[in-house]
Amino acid sequence: MTWVFTSKKRFYLHDDETLLDGLLRTGHDINYQCREGYCGSCRVTLSHASFPVTYAEPPLAMIEQGEILACCCKVKGLIHLKEVK
């Protein structure tokens, strides 16, 4: 089970739920468009993760160190995100 902590709340991801879907389900205000890692609109800043964040396919959108794409990243364990409203 993956637990997600933001400045707004904490929640867990359902089986096979993306981080983006979990954020939307719990009322977070997050931008998104493509849902496939092309545009980078869903970019969030990772504060801490108990396991490395991975991707099934490398995303095409450019991300900086410490950023992840909520639509297509693979997360597990505990993760803390910065500044997600």
CB 46 within 8 A of CB 53: yes
Domains with residue ranges and CATH for the chain: 2-82 (3.10.20.30)
Per the prediction, the chain carries an average pLDDT of: 94
Structural tokens at position 5: 């902590």
Residue 64: predicted pLDDT: 95
Percent of the chain with pLDDT over 70: 99
Task: Name the 3-class secondary structure at 24.
Answer: helix
Summarised one tens digit per residue, pLDDT across range 6-32 is: 988 999 999 989 999 999 999 999 999
Place of tokens 């890692």: 37
pTM above 0.75? yes
Residue 85: predicted pLDDT: 63
Residue 51: predicted pLDDT: 97
Report the distance separating Cα 36 and Cα 54, nearest Å. Answer: 14
